Structure 1
């Protein structure tokens, strides 16, 4: 299975939070599916440095209907607009 991935956005750990999030636009070339993948990890210092991580894949429409994730949605919109840029300038 071939997947083309483009990072849309990431957050970095800060002094307030040990969590890190990454969002990707993913095209599965075998199944011809396009989706957004959210990958996260969080280190819980209070629990001896336990690492919690996971991921979720969302179809584009489902992702865009969710509230929040504004920087990710703006970047996704920019990427998708770029695909149709030629039509927009005509």
Structure 2
């Protein structure tokens, strides 16, 4: 399975990397499916270096109708506009 990914958004919080939030536009070349993938990682340095890692996928329409207008939303809208210009 080949996945083509383009980063839409990345946010890193903390003086050390303690929390990351990334969104990608993903195209699965096998299933011909286009979707958004969100990865969230949180490092608890004071608890023996434990890492909580979550990945979620959603349809593009679901991602765009989420509350708020993040940098990821703006980048996806920009990409969509370039496809149809």
The TM-score, its normalising length taken from structure 2, stands at: 0.87
Gaps of 5+ in 1: 86-90
Distance in 2 (alpha carbons) for counterparts of 1:43 and 1:16: 9
Q: Which runs of 4+ in 1 moved over 4 A?
A: none
Q: Greater Rg, structure 1 or structure 2?
A: 1
Distance in 2 (alpha carbons) for counterparts of 1:52 and 1:69: 25
Gaps of 5+ in 2: none
Equivalent residue for 1:22? 22
Equivalent residue for 2:77? 77
Report the number of matched residues.
85
The TM-score, its normalising length taken from structure 1, stands at: 0.83
Which of the pair is proportionally richer in strand?
Answer: 2
Equivalent residue for 1:55? 55
